[in-house]
Amino acid sequence: MSEELRKKAAEMLLNGATLLSEPCPYCKGVRVMKEGQALCTKCGRAPEKRKIVIEKNEVKNENPLKKTLEKKLEVLSKELEQEMDHDKQQSILKSINLVLEMMEKVKKQ
């Protein structure tokens, strides 16, 4: 681990960040999370963020389930930003993943 990464991770921990139990998806290093931002202490990479893009044509044909899932994803994202408890963060991340999977299924229909 580089000195700069170690200092940044230590600073994040001192400011309320938490260690994640899941390793970095790129190098399997230890990750630190604060305010929804994860940082690998080994390679310095953060997971790519997924963006949900809605085209104008889709808005007209949008079904109620899709709208509900998008609202739920927004609520979960806000909860994740505010949550400081590691176990609750993991639970919220699992819920977000399930909502994203369901959105993909709805999109294919």
Asked whether the beta carbons of 35 and 76 are under 8 A apart, the reply is: no
Residue 67 CA to residue 44 CA, distance in Å, equals 35
Tell me the per-residue pLDDT of 84-97, one tens digit each, with 9 for 90 and over.
Answer: 999 999 999 999 99
pLDDT more than 70, % of the chain: 84
Q: What is the pLDDT of residue 17?
A: 86
Q: Does the model's pTM come out above 0.75?
A: no
Residue 60 makes CB contacts below 8 A (sequence gap 6+) with none
Sheet containing 37-40, strands listed edge to edge, beginning at the edge strand earlier in sequence: 18-19, 31-34, 37-40
Q: What is the pLDDT of residue 85?
A: 92
3-class DSSP assignment, residue 11? helix
- Which residues of the chain fall below pLDDT 50? 58
